[in-house]
Chains A and B, each alone.
Chain A
Amino acid sequence: MTPLILTLYALFGFLLFAVALATLWWMLHAWRTPEVLAATGFTVAADAPRLSFSLLVPGRHEEAVMGATLDTLVGSDHPDFEVIAIVGHDDDATREVAEAAAARHPDRVRVVVDHNWPKNKPKALNTALPHCRGDVVGVFDAEDEVDPRLLRQVDHAFRANDAHVVQGGVQLMNFRSSWYSLRNCLEYFFWFRSRLHLHAQHRFIPLGGNTVFCRTDVLRAVGGWDAECLAEDCELGVRLSTLGARVAIAYSPDLVTREETPGTLKSLFKQRTRWNQGFLQVLRKGEWRQLPTRRQRLLARYTLSMPFLQAFAGVGIIVSVVSAVFLRAPVALALFSFLPAVPTLATLAFEIAGLREFCRNYYVRARATDYLRLILGMFPYQLVLAAAAVRAVVREALGMRGWEKTAHVGAHRSAAVEAAMANPAGVTR
């Protein structure tokens, strides 16, 4: 092998190592010291609630779950809130369920019909925004299982932190239903229990899609959600971060919003593609360049490209090790090619510790088979993530021209013609 190839190879290996190490480090943010763990933990809200809430629940072809979700939300122990169900003008089944709920709880539930076309979640949310009467807008998905004590906690978090935004916890719960669901659940666990706090601390946060709360006046001042972004939640977080918004995290294992993993591997794959492409759109849109400090911009650049880095690292490590061994590279080089595997295997070790913690938090007993599935699932899951990342890049590249146009007109203005060109299918839930 020539020195040039050797150098490139070494650089590649070191890059993979750095990516995996940084990802691991940030994944473990909450456990850095006991003080950080305590600070990112749960503080009980003992004082009386003072804010009012407008809870938005967009639903599309979700008549099966919508009614129950609205009923649960109405059951909240907070004194002052309204629930706004947002349904499409072409979706009569969901609309009927929503209106039935409104009839059951006329003082709490209203229905807003979204006439935009094509439909997506940010457009639905923007449609409902003028109808919100509360101090705070909260967003939930139609299938969410929301804890009735959550709103009081969020109320407290807003006031205690003088926050503009409060992100509540979301947790996938069905970790035994398929081989990938365990890893999917753990991803959520590490993200909401740990990583998100790092982002809040550095005041750069890609918000989640639900159980997210924002002051209504702030939301109106920034023009609501970006109607053309596939990751409108992340985009809003980034945009608010550039304006110096204070974000508080209200995470407690008892109060998380419970969700389920995508039912099939294919839907997981599609969901991940959408997220990745959304992150890529936010990255290209470049709002993050407006972040006030260099460290924030670095974190933003890294986080928004993270799905790709992570996915490629997972595959790259295997490729580099296999090539080094099979190409009969010099022993020193072959040894070096294992360098990126070190943080990867360390990640696996911490995932084992994380699974233990997850099960303790949610009062389940971890079984040996759970740990086995965690270990065996690592590589295939990484492959799925990598494939989703590649698919996202390809799709984004194909739709490039359409995207360039919307970026210039300002993403909050809805333009149906451009959207038709730019917006790939599968946007709405």
Chain B
Amino acid sequence: MPLLEILQLKKSFLAPDGSNHCVIDVPGLALEEKEQVALCGESGSGKTTLLHLIAGILRPDSGSINLAGQEVSNLSEPERDRLRAMKIGYIFQTFNLLPAFTCLENVLLGMSFGPGADRGVAEALLQRVGLSDKFKHYPRQLSTGQQQRVAVARALANHPKLVLADEPTGNLDQRNARDALSLIREVCRENGAALLLVSHDREVLAEFDSVLELSKINQATASTSAIAHS
């Protein structure tokens, strides 16, 4: 059984004009354990929404999301919070580090909602991403590349089964983007985590063996495109 299996997933939002705007309509998507898949699509194609649905941040209108044997869409909100803390690592385009917390505290905080804060594990992860001398630095004292490394360490801190990365290189220059991408892929591999990475950067996508185009698997955006073209 795949680590992640999505079936007949639908999500709509209320548009400003009062109509229902379907953003996600994915008949099927699967991700095996330890598999690394890139998901590409234009801005507004529903990439982030899909990740939010998988992470249990949003609840689907219909369909199924099965993650590690658990039906995400059937879980209560606290159960989805728990699932997210225990089994999912999230890396954001804007890193989303907490500015008032040091690097180490950012990682520890991520752990505290999951299995529990473990200073040793957090320090080892920061060392692994090359920040052994930055434990007590605040995000504002780090370069953007270093901030993204902290975000990677935080995402991996709870030994998640699945890492969701939403445009993780979008705010980095070319060199840092390359370094960050290889770091994410390496640490996911080392930790046995599957990776679902969203990007529209061709260079990033070229690094992956498996690339899914959201416009092909998401019938909602496909139909929108069709309407737009007609």
- Chains A and B are bound partners: no
